[in-house]
Amino acid sequence: MTDPTDSDANKSGQYFGNYRLIRPLGAGGFAEVYLGEHIHLYTMAAIKILHARMSGEEREDFRTEALTIAHLKHPHIVRVLDFGFQDNITPFLVMDYAPNGSMRSRYKGSVPLATVLPTVKAIAAALDYAHQQKIVHRDIKPDNILLNEQDEVLLSDFGIAVAAHATGVQHTQDTTGTPAYMSPEQFQGKPRPASDQYALAVTVYEWLCGKRPFEGDAAALGYQHVHTQPASLCAQQPTL
């Protein structure tokens, strides 16, 4: 996610459903996320505002996909509490707020092995559950693995899956995601459950040695993910 303070259209103070937006938490290619406070209950939630503008059939598709995501119940998946359309056009999701940030913000370089192992087990279990529900996440990366009050890991940002299905991009060239973590088939517009497993493997590689297997722009990353063997982890981190 990009620095939310860089946005030229800060929505802090606006109301989305029953929530007043307090401050931006992050922004990406598909959406921006704000901390929101319920106007009656004074509880906090994360409000994901999708960049898409929807009308008619697209709104119904979004509603169907959002209902599917909202029914995901797993101890390591961020809950979707509500959803709606601002001005009947802009879709948004209301989700549990994870106050301790992300694995990206917690660890700037490599991650201790004692932390990697339970984190991978938790996220793999969450993905297995989501895949059983026929949902592909499409954007596994450290930024989307959050930490709650007890520092338990939570998989977030199923927003790409919702937006991609609702806007029909899965029928075209669906290359949504973050190129540094994307599988070869996802670069080809054919994401599948194995694509999430691949992205998790790239994430683990980064955690163990402090850097991703490939770097470059989207085109260079696509070529490397398809044609290049990554450097051995043991060569980069002999203590493993």
Catalytic residues: 139
Q: What angle do CA 169, 175, 177 make, to 5 degrees?
A: 110
Classify the phi-psi angles of 138: left when phi > 0, otherwise alpha if psi is within -120 to 50, otherwise beta: left
Backbone angles phi, psi at 95, to 5 degrees: -130, 160
Bridge partners of 49? 32, 92
35 close to 46: Cβ distance less than 8 angstroms: yes
* Rounded CA separation 104/161 (Å): 21
89 close to 55: Cβ distance less than 8 angstroms: yes
* Rounded CA separation 52/168 (Å): 12
- Written as six digits, the tokens of 40 are 């009656």
Segments in 52-152 forming alpha helices (H): 57-70, 103-106, 113-132
Bridge partners of 154? 146
Residue 167 exposed, middle or buried by CB count within 10 Å (0-12, 13-18, 19+): buried
- Written as six digits, the tokens of 187 are 């670069």
